[in-house]
Structure 1
Amino acid sequence: MGFLHISPVEPKAATGLAAEVYRQQAADVGLARMPALMALSSVPALLAATWSLLRESLMAGPLSRTEREVVALGVSTANRCPYCVGAHTLFLHATGDHALAETLLAGGRPADPRQAALYAWATGETRDGPDAPELLGTALAFHFINRMVTALHTPDVLPGGLQKTRLVRRAAGRTLARPARRLLPPGESLRFLHTPHADAPQPRDAPRAAAPAWAHGSPVGTAYAALTEVAGQGGALLTHPERVAEAVARWDGGHPPMGGSWLADALSGLPAAEAAPTRLALLAALAPYRITEGDVAAWPHTDESLVRLLAFGAVTAVRHAERTFSPAAAS
């Protein structure tokens, strides 16, 4: 249980924007440490945007938390993210739906027809998705978070893999029950977006990505636009970021074949110094669980540049996933 390739900023050591985000996260989630967010701490603006989308989609407002957790688990299962599957099994226990949590973890399907339809959509089995911005935002948030967590953290949620024990899962869920069932007011994370900080400077007149139509003017859309903008900036680390976009555009939503043949076209003709980061971005987009120590070592980097590069690959896949949603989401 720990981080891969990076040394994140711990909440007690955080300053500026990262410290502000950590404080709200601790209050709203009931956890002092959330590794899925800590992994992004070397890029405070990315940390803030990811937290904002997560909070406004998964946690805020009156929509059923159980339904949102079903979507989170469906996406995480499809993306083969064991950390997020484990974590959100615990959060589904926290909602009180213990049988549903265990059913999904075992590979089953919800008995409730609406929950079953949401799970089928989240796993990519169907294209007929919901209209609620919170559900669409949850799916997109986890398409991003799954990729980043898989690349930068080991699979275990609890020390020694304790989340694999049913009694521990139920007990952990009980400790999270009060914050998970609390009604959080929407929009309170938006103050972290597009705000200049010493550790995340950004001009107030900087161009901003437009909120998507599917968000219907909700805070979810503002947070999603901020995440796609900030994460997309990592493409500046590549000489040919269009290679990543073109490869992802051809993606059918499945998992790439074993071996590296599927990377060949995107890397063709690139010198080693350019091929290494392009390969990392492509792996982050389509197969983050295949990133190796060798892949990371082949590209000289800092924690900040590595997180920015992986975020670019991840958000390229997220944008592709957005376009494959229902007509309401793609408009």
Structure 2
Amino acid sequence: MSTPFRYTEPLPPKSATGTVAEVYAQIALDFGIAEPVTFVVLSSAPELLAPTWALMRESLIAGAGSRTGKELAALGVSLANKCPFCVDAHTVLLHATGDHGLAERLARGEAPQSEEHARVLAWGRHTRVPGAALEPYPFPREHAPAYLGTALTFHFINRIASALLTENLLPAGAQRFRAVRSLAGRTLARTVRRPARPGTALALLDHIDPGEAPAWADGTPVGLAYAALLRAAMRGAGLLDTDDHHLVEQTLQDWDGSHPPLTLDGFPDRRERPGARLALLAALAPYRITDEDVAAWRRPEHTDHCLVHLVAYGAFVAVDRIESSLSAQIIREAL
């Protein structure tokens, strides 16, 4: 029987307990999809699952600004990261907002007719480049925490999806048919268009320290969720030895947002440094992770929990590089 999970075997959502069950309940209520595989794949690591959901909920769903605009920003991020799963998901969600014509233009690879929509989509694409000039924003400045949080959320989720899931949003790739996309979106319309109260997801987090929230979040719940995910994702560094950890961190410091060449020049050999290779692929080109890469790293003691943490670490090192450049840019402009 086919499964959307490439390298893990998550427990059936109906058997979930504790934090995982609480997250699933919120997802069903506020996202409209009972058990989305982008979150189920993280369920072996509840400490990652909860803040990932919290960051998405507090930015994309409950954050300020139009849902259409934030879906466009997320779609731009997903296009920049070459994540077909997430591109298809955001196209369906644009149908859910009622923007059917926009959704289908984008599904055909065409530009939005509206200049405002085109600017938001381009802005989302541009966020992949660390240090890129993201201002003036194509949305009101007071909406910036939600839009920035949405972009950073999907820089993370894109990498998780590309590394650990197949490309098909729906079985047999049914999302490629217009009627299916439209119907799927319409089934989510009531939930997507319903206002959500900010801050609800924070109750799922183990540790909240307002002092750790980034300045760009401007005191919103988005910043607390981001800080919680940063803390949880970076724990995956413990799966690498000191030299591999240093290699990953240094490589990302020098990253300019480009995709690696087909030859993967400069990537460690999978036989010699499989952990560093897997983490770097998760950061820079998760769609290039192969069965051989995972098999070379995985040993009997490496459970699904370990694999999810290593991929999440690599993914978040890239997110942190983007966010750090963004924060530095905001500080410079404030001086």
Fold match, TM over 0.5? yes
Q: Residues of 1 paired with 2:197 and 2:203: CA distance? A: 13
Q: Which residue of 1 aligns with 2:28?
A: 26
Equivalence map 1:262-281=2 (5 Å): 262-264=266-268, 272=272, 275-281=273-279
Q: Residues of 2 paired with 1:231 and 1:320: CA distance? A: 14
Is the 1:62–1:183 contact (alpha carbons within 8 Å) kept by the matching residues of 2?
A: no
Equivalence map 1:146-225=2 (5 Å): 146-194=158-206, 210-225=212-227
Q: Deviations over 1:217-269 (max 9, x none)?
A: 000000001001100110011113121111111111011001132214xx6xx
Q: Which residue of 2 aligns with 1:199?
A: none
Q: Residues of 1 paired with 2:76 and 2:331: CA distance? A: 18
Aligned partner (choices 225, 237, 257) of residue 253 of structure 1: 257
Aligned partner (choices 76, 86, 89) of residue 88 of structure 2: 86
Is the 2:210–2:224 contact (alpha carbons within 8 Å) kept by the matching residues of 1?
A: no
Q: Which residue of 2 aligns with 1:201?
A: none
State the AA in 2 paired with 1:36. T
Aligned partner (choices 129, 153, 157) of residue 145 of structure 1: 157
SS in 1 for 2:65: coil
Q: Which residue of 2 aligns with 1:101?
A: 103
Q: Which residue of 1 aligns with 2:285?
A: 287
Tell me the CA shift for residue 271 of structure 1: 8.1
Q: Residues of 1 paired with 2:118 and 2:80: CA distance? A: 15
Q: Residues of 1 paired with 2:218 and 2:331: CA distance? A: 10
Q: Residues of 1 paired with 2:73 and 2:213: CA distance? A: 21
Q: Which residue of 1 aligns with 2:11?
A: 9
State the AA in 2 paired with 1:247. T
Q: Which residue of 1 aligns with 2:61?
A: 59
Is the 1:2–1:153 contact (alpha carbons within 8 Å) kept by the matching residues of 2?
A: yes
Tell me the CA shift for residue 110 of structure 1: 2.2
Tell me the CA shift for residue 62 of structure 1: 4.6
State the AA in 1 paired with 2:285. A
Aligned partner (choices 231, 243, 248) of residue 247 of structure 2: 243
Q: Deviations over 1:290-316 (max 9, x none)?
A: 111111011122100000000000000
Tell me the CA shift for residue 94 of structure 1: 0.3
Q: Residues of 1 paired with 2:173 and 2:216: CA distance? A: 38
Q: Deviations over 1:119-157 (max 9, x none)?
A: 111111863243410000000000000000111110111
Is the 2:126–2:134 contact (alpha carbons within 8 Å) kept by the matching residues of 1?
A: no
Q: Residues of 1 paired with 2:331 and 2:37: CA distance? A: 29
Tell me the CA shift for residue 109 of structure 1: 2.3
Q: Residues of 1 paired with 2:186 and 2:158: CA distance? A: 24
Moved more, 88-97 or 115-124: 115-124
Q: Which residue of 2 aligns with 1:198?
A: none
What RMSD in Å do the two structures reach over aligned CA positions? Answer: 2.0
SS in 2 for 1:294: helix
Q: Residues of 2 paired with 1:111 and 1:46: CA distance? A: 38
Q: Residues of 1 paired with 2:163 and 2:286: CA distance? A: 5
**TM-score normalised to structure 2 length:** 0.89
Unaligned runs of 5+ residues in structure 2 are none
Percent identical: 50
Aligned length: 315
- In structure 2, do the counterparts of structure 1 residues 191 and 37 end up closer, same or farther at CA, with 3 Å as the change threshold? same
